[in-house]
Amino acid sequence: MASTVTTEPSGNPAAPSRPGYGQLLRTRGAWTFLLPGFAARQPFAMLTISIVLLVRHTTGSYGVAGAAAAVTGVSMALFAPYSGRLADRHGQRAVLVPGVLVHTLSGLALTALALAHAPLWALFAAAVPTGASVPQIGPMVRARWGVRLQDSPLLSTAAAFESVTDELTFVVGPLLATALCTTVAPAAGLVTEAALTLAGGLLFATRRSTQPQVTGTAHARVRHPSALRVAGVRVLIAAFLGIGSVFGGMQVSLAAFTESIGEPGLNGVLYGTFAAGNMLSGVVCGTLAWKAAPHRRLLVGYAALALTASALWTSQSVLVLAGLGLLVGMCIAPALITGYTLVESLVPAGARTEAFTWLTGAVALGQAAAVTVAGQLEDRLWGGAGFLVPMAGTVLALVTLLALRSRLSGRPRNRTVARGVGHRVPVTVD
């Protein structure tokens, strides 16, 4: 991180070398997209757990519930990058408004089918558009920060702030969804998720002044090819798949564990503890002036995540599980923050929304796979077997990171490199 004071191209006051949330939140125009963005991303944290609890109630199987939730996650992972690329080319509002409407209608259809005890194929048919149309609010907000801050040292603080915001939703979302599903009605979680998506998504879409400038289709094809062609992005996708395995594995396994001890209401509390650790760690990360390079921080943080996630399956009590969940959460935030920060140095500005959605989609895909496998393990093996999924996912991702760590060195900032020059930089941009 730079140690000198930098003047931001957007005209904001110069940012100090030690980043701070106060300076970040005084960025011109920030609050116009932060508040609606927070409201719009809240439903995402409710979706998977709401599907699991509803389908588990109507079918009696965690395996079936996990499969339905997994279809939603896979659909989101496949369509999110395409949605991000369309947003880069045509504007966020043009993509967000129809997506919000489709998501709301398909989510309500999935709810009605589950309550009607429809066959599994029908649930899958409704789950596909539900996942494919999940609004990509987080990547859109991160892209707006990139426009406002550009090469400012506050970019790392913005990445930390967004991680904290994401994790705050993962504290509130599962608690709210679990409370609604267990005390109001099994379908209440999904119905509320659909309503919040509609209201929050449309409100965010009205904030057009802060969205990134539209590049135009022809220009984007020439200057900004798919972010997936950047080698470092592909390595980050592997890392975020592992993070998704933690989210998905813990959602199913915690639900099974709390039901096995006769306290299903504790599910939201335990998952909220895990998310709270992530949030608190993210707050701290955003206040530090790091000296180590981002790719080195990612390796260290990910090693800690793999170590703590590997201990989950050994827990036999609520207190031990809560403590381990808190530690796992504290290790996730640094990995997420550093991964998103690396995108700023790996990917051209015109493709960053797409790059962010690849990472978000990777988390969703990892979560979907983990929900499916963990559900099968809980149904077929011993109670707590689902906790093996976070261990396997993070260890495999760590091995990938160690083997391909050289791909994470970013493009040099503050200087222009012509095409065909600078071959030693390990980034593919054309």
Query: Above pLDDT 70, what percent of the chain?
Result: 82
Predicted pLDDT of residue 217? 46
Full domain range(s) for residue 380? 32-213+228-408
Report the alpha-carbon distance of residue 337 to residue 332 in Å, rounded: 9
Report the alpha-carbon distance of residue 53 to residue 187 in Å, rounded: 9
The mean per-residue pLDDT over the stretch 43-67 comes to 84
| Top-confidence residue, 307 or 221 | 307
Report the alpha-carbon distance of residue 233 to residue 240 in Å, rounded: 10
The mean per-residue pLDDT over the stretch 117-139 comes to 89
How many C-beta atoms lie closer than 10 Å to residue 55's C-beta?
26
Residues 399-427 have pLDDT tens digits of 998 988 787 775 544 433 333 333 333 33
Predicted pLDDT of residue 110? 94
Residue 191's pLDDT band (boundaries 50, 70, 90)? very high
Residues 144-189 have pLDDT tens digits of 877 777 767 777 777 778 777 776 776 677 778 888 988 899 999 9
Residue 288's pLDDT band (boundaries 50, 70, 90)? low
The H or E element that residue 150 is part of is: none
Predicted pLDDT of residue 105? 94
Predicted pLDDT of residue 417? 37
Nearest to 46 by CA among 169, 142, 130, 128: 169
CATH code where residue 62 lies: 1.20.1250.20
Residues 320-370 have pLDDT tens digits of 888 888 898 888 888 888 888 787 777 776 677 777 778 877 887 888 788
Note whether residue 3 is domain-resident. no
Report the number of distinct structural domains present in the chain.
1
Mean pLDDT over the full length of the chain: 77
Note whether residue 359 is domain-resident. yes
Note whether residue 220 is domain-resident. no
The mean per-residue pLDDT over the stretch 38-64 comes to 83
On the question of pLDDT at 20 being above 50, the answer is yes
On the question of pLDDT at 129 being above 90, the answer is yes
The mean per-residue pLDDT over the stretch 212-236 comes to 64
Terminus-to-terminus CA distance in the chain, angstroms?
A: 27
Residue 108's pLDDT band (boundaries 50, 70, 90)? very high
The mean per-residue pLDDT over the stretch 108-130 comes to 92
Predicted pLDDT of residue 215? 56
Nearest-Å Rg of the Cα atoms of the chain is: 21
The full length of the chain comes to 430
Predicted pLDDT of residue 379? 75
Note whether residue 189 is domain-resident. yes
Residue 106's pLDDT band (boundaries 50, 70, 90)? very high
Predicted pLDDT of residue 426? 39
Q: Which range among 50-54, 100-104, 204-208, 308-312 shows the weakest confidence by mean pLDDT?
A: 204-208
Note whether residue 12 is domain-resident. no
Note whether residue 425 is domain-resident. no
| Top-confidence residue, 27 or 309 | 309
Q: To 10 degrees, the CA torsion angle through 10, 13, 15, 19? A: -100
Q: What are phi and psi of 15, to 5 degrees?
A: -90, 140
Beta-bridge partners for 15: 6
Note whether residue 272 is domain-resident. yes
Predicted pLDDT of residue 349? 65
Note whether residue 423 is domain-resident. no
The mean per-residue pLDDT over the stretch 231-243 comes to 87
Predicted pLDDT of residue 125? 93
Q: What are phi and psi of 347, to 5 degrees?
A: -120, 135
| Top-confidence residue, 273 or 12 | 273
Residue 208's pLDDT band (boundaries 50, 70, 90)? confident
Residue 392's pLDDT band (boundaries 50, 70, 90)? very high
Report the alpha-carbon distance of residue 38 to residue 52 in Å, rounded: 24
pTM: 0.68
What is the SS3 assignment for 173?
helix
